[in-house]
């Protein structure tokens, strides 16, 4: 499991076994993920893909942050 996901699970108040202790923990976990995604989107300046600039899309940055590979 990705280290960042483990950290969010612990911050949400559950363990990293994947067993949720309550719905509140699942909600907190989702809020943490959404907050990080919003922060990444807010920080990223608009860029151009294929127009002379090589930048990462906001989606690419979010996937990179969470270690999600396609």
Q: What is the DSSP letter of 41?
A: H
H helix runs in the chain, sequence order: 3-11, 23-43, 58-66
What's the confidence (pLDDT) of residue 61?
82
Residue 18 has pLDDT above 80, yes or no: no
Q: What is the DSSP letter of 64?
A: H
pTM score = 0.65
What's the confidence (pLDDT) of residue 50?
56
Our measurement of the distance from residue 29's CA atom to the centroid of its chain's CA atoms, rounded to an integer in Å, reads 10
Q: Which of 30, 27, 6, 28 is nearest to 18 (CA)?
A: 6
* Residues in Cβ contact with 26 at an 8 Å cutoff, skipping those fewer than 6 apart: 12, 20
Q: Where are the domains of the chain?
A: 3-66
């Amino acid at each position: 499991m990705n280290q960042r996901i483990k950290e969010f699970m612990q911050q949400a108040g559950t363990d990293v076994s994947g067993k949720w202790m309550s719905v509140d923990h699942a909600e907190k976990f989702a809020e943490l993920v959404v907050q990080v995604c919003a922060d990444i989107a807010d920080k990223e300046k608009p860029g151009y893909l294929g127009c002379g600039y090589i930048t990462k899309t906001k989606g690419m940055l979010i996937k990179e942050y969470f270690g999600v590979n396609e």
